[in-house]
Amino acid sequence: MNARVAIPSGFSPQEYLALEHDNAIRHEYRRGLVYAIAGGSDNHSHLSINLLTETNLHLRA
């Protein structure tokens, strides 16, 4: 028994950029498919930067 999977045609890069330009919700573009992504706060950004910095410093040692 063969299962068939429908592959959506998706968006072109130009269509994706037009969508993102005027949209309050941010999306990720991957191989023609568009996924909504969670928004981040300033605190989240600082936490992420601090974690990456500490990891980088630890790996250099």
Mean pLDDT computed over 8-17? 79
Q: Please, are residues 18 and 12 in contact by the beta-carbon 8 Å criterion?
A: no
pTM over 0.75: no
Q: What is the pLDDT of residues 33-58, one digit of tens each?
A: 888 887 777 788 889 899 999 999 99
CA distance 57 to 43: 21
Q: Which residues contact 26 (CB under 8 A, 6 or more apart)?
A: 20, 36, 37, 39
Phi-psi region of 32 (alpha: psi -120 to 50; beta: other; left: phi over 0): left
Note the pLDDT of residue 33.
Answer: 84
Mean pLDDT computed over 21-44? 80
